[in-house]
Structure 1
Amino acid sequence: MDAAAIDEAYRLEDDHWWFVGKRLIVGALLEDALGDPSLRLLDVGCGTGGVLAALKDRTRIVGVDRSPRALGYCRRRGVAELACSEAHRLPFGPASFDGILLLDVLEHVVDDALVLRNVRTLLSPGGFVLVSVPAFQFLWGKHDETVGHVRRYRARMLRELLERAGFVVRRLTHTNVIAFPPAVVARAVLGRLGLRRRQGTDFQVHRPAVNRALIAAYRLEAAALRHVGRLPVGVSIAALATTAT
C-alpha cells in the first residue's frame, strides 16, 4: 500500500464498517483461544494496528509490517512490540508463538506458499494460524490493483495451500457476507458493461446511519460464526489451521 492508502486506513480504521467488521470476525473466530492471557500472538501485516489495539489487552501480541509508516500508526495506538519486516523473512526464532494472524496478507505476496511454510516454523507444537484472503477471482476490481493484490482465492485453493505447507485445516468459511451482493453487482455485472470504477479503493465513507447499519450486520455475522461452522458465500475467506502434532 502507498502512503496515501496507509493514511486513509488509519483515518478510517476505528469507525468504518469494513474495519470494525474485520475485528468482529477475528474476535468470533478466535473466541476460544483468546481466553488464555498467556497466549503469544503474532500479527503479520498488521497495518496501522486496528487488530493489534483490539487484542493487546487480552493477550501478548506482536505486530509486523513492511511499512515503517504503518508501524508509526501502531505506536500511536499504544502497541509496543513491533518489527519492520517482509512476511517471507520474519525475524523470529522457531516456536516463538502460539498463534499467528495473516489477515489480508497472502494476496499481496507472489510466493504465498513460502510465507506459510516460514510461518509454520514460528509456531509452537499445536499452534494455529488464522488466515483471511479475498474471495473469487471474478470479483477482481480496481481496489485489488490499488492496494497491491496479486490474486483472489477460492476456498479449495486456500485449503490445499495450507495443507501443502503442513497445516491441518480446522475451519474454513466465507466471511464478509454483507459485502457480497454489492460486490457482485459492482464488479461482475457493471464490469461486463464497461461501467466498472477505474480508480480508488473500496473504502468508501458512508453516511453515519448507513455505517451503523453495516456494523450491525457484521455483529450478526460474528454471532453466526460463533454457532455455525461455515458460511457459504462472502467476499473473503477465513481459515483456522493448526500445526500437525
Structure 2
Amino acid sequence: MDYDPVKDRLGRFFWTTPTRTKAFYRTLDAVFLRSWYVRRTLRRLVGARAGRPVRVLDAGTGFGQYAYWLVRTFPNVEVVAADVKDDYLRRAEAFVAQTPYAGRVTFERADLTQPLPHEEAFDLALSVDVMEHIEDDRAVFRNVRDALVPGGHLVVNTPSDQGGSGVSGAGEESFIGEHVRDGYAVDDLVEKLETAGLRVTDTDYTYGPVGSAAWRLLVKWPITMLNRSPLLTPLVGAYYLGAGPVGLALNAVDLRRDNDTGTGLLVTAQKPPRPTR
C-alpha cells in the first residue's frame, strides 16, 4: 500500500489553519507509539545539557511535528528541519512562522545522502522513520556524523526486522509501499552506524507485542480504510471514538515494558568526543 497519498490528503486538510495543524501534531504524537519513545529519549538527551544551548538537526522532518515539539518544549533548543520534499517544508515553515517559535526553526531542503553544509554544527540529530525510505543509508550516517559536534548524539527510529512495516513472514510485502527495506536487524544497524564513525550507546525494541497490537488498532486498520476511499473518512473518525482509548492505553503499557523483541527499533549513537589532553 502506498502511504504517501493518504498522508498528503490528511496534510491538505490539517494544514489549512494553525489550530488544525496543532491538532494534527497532537494526534500524531498520541497515535504513533514511536513518538512516545522518541520524545522520552529527547527529554533525556536535551535534559542532560542542563539548559545549555542545543542545536538539533531534524533529518527528514516530514510534517515537522518533532521540530515544533522540540522548540515548544525546550527554550534552549534551535532546530534545522531538513527534508527532500519541498511541499512539506513550505507547509511546516508557514505554520511555524505563525507561532512564537519562528526564529528558532530553520527549514532546509536537503538530500541526506549528500554532504550537509553544517560541519560539526549540531549537538543532536534525529531521524524518525526515515532510513527505511533511503537505499544508501551508509551515506546518510556518514553525513550526519560529519554534521555532529564531537560528543553529539544521533537518535534513529526505524522498523525492525522482527515484523516491522507489517511484514511477519517470508514473501510478505511491506505495509508501506514506499519502504526500500522492511526493517533493520539490530546488528545490521549497529554495524552501519559504527562503520560511519559513531558509537552506539543504546538499543531498544519498540512496538513489542502490546505496542504492535496498538499499531494495528490505531494506524494499520484506519490507514487501510483511508487508502481504500476518502469517503470512509467519517467512518474512521467514528472508529477512533471506540478504538482510540484502547490503543492509547496499549501504547502506555508498551512504553513501560522492556521489550525482548519488537517491530520497531530506537537506537542512540554518539560521535566520539575530542580526546582530552
**Normalised by the shorter chain, which TM-score bucket?**
0.7 to 0.9
CA distance in 1, matches of 2:122, 2:28: 30
Mapped partners of 1:33, 1:52: distance in 2 = 15
Q: CA deviation at 1:97?
A: 0.2
CA contact (8 A) 2:81 2:106 kept: yes
Q: 2:69 aligns with which of 50, 54, 67?
A: 54
Aligned position for 2:142: 117
Aligned residue in 2 for 1:191: none
Partner of 1:169: 200
> Judging changes above 3 Å, is the alpha-carbon distance between structure 1 residues 17 and 63 closer, same or farther for their aligned structure 2 residues?
closer
Bigger helix fraction: 2
- What is the SS of the residue equivalent to 2:175? helix
Query: Using the alignment, how far apart are the partners of 2:78 and 2:186 within structure 1?
Result: 30
Q: 1:210 to 1:81 in 2, by over 3 A?
A: same
Q: How does 1:188-227 map to 2 (within 5 A)?
A: 200=227, 206-222=239-255, 224=256
Shift in Å at residue 220 of structure 1?
3.6
Q: Identify the match of residue 143 of structure 1 among 175, 179, 188.
A: 175
Q: Secondary structure at the match of 1:116?
A: helix
State the shift of 1:84 in Å.
0.9
User: Per-residue deviation at 1:121?
Assistant: 0.4
Residues 244 and 13 of structure 1: is their aligned pair in 2 closer, same or farther, counting only changes over 3 Å? same
Unaligned runs of 5+ in 1: 185-196
| Structure 1 residue 29 corresponds to structure 2 residue 38 | no
**TM-score calculated relative to the size of structure 1:** 0.79
**Contact 2:214-2:248 within 8 A present in 1 as well:** no
Alignment partner, residue 105 of structure 1: 130
Aligned pair count reads 224
Residue 70 of structure 2 aligns with an amino acid whose one-letter code is L
Q: How far did residue 88 of structure 1 move?
A: 1.3
Which residue does 1:192 correspond to in 2? Answer: none
- For the 8 Å contact 2:198–2:269, the answer to whether it is kept is yes
- Displacement of 1:46 after TM fit? 0.5
Change (3 A) 1:90 1:70: farther
Distance 2:174 2:196 in 1: 30
Cα RMSD between the aligned structures?
2.9
Q: 1:7 to 1:22 in 2, by over 3 A?
A: farther
The structure having more radius of gyration, on CA atoms, is: 2
In 2, the alpha carbon distance for the partners of 1:237 and 1:94 equals 27
Q: Render the CA deviation track for 1:184-209: whole Å, top value 9, x for unaligned.
A: 9xxxxxxxxxxxx8x949xx764224
Q: Check conservation: 2:119, 2:148, Cα contact below 8 A.
A: yes
Q: Give how far 1:29 is off.
A: 1.4
Letter of the 2:123 counterpart: D
The answer to whether the aligner puts 1:15 opposite 2:27 as a matched pair is yes
Name the % identity. 22
Distance across 1 between alignment mates of 2:269 and 2:202: 7
In structure 2, what is the equivalent of residue 75 of structure 1?
93
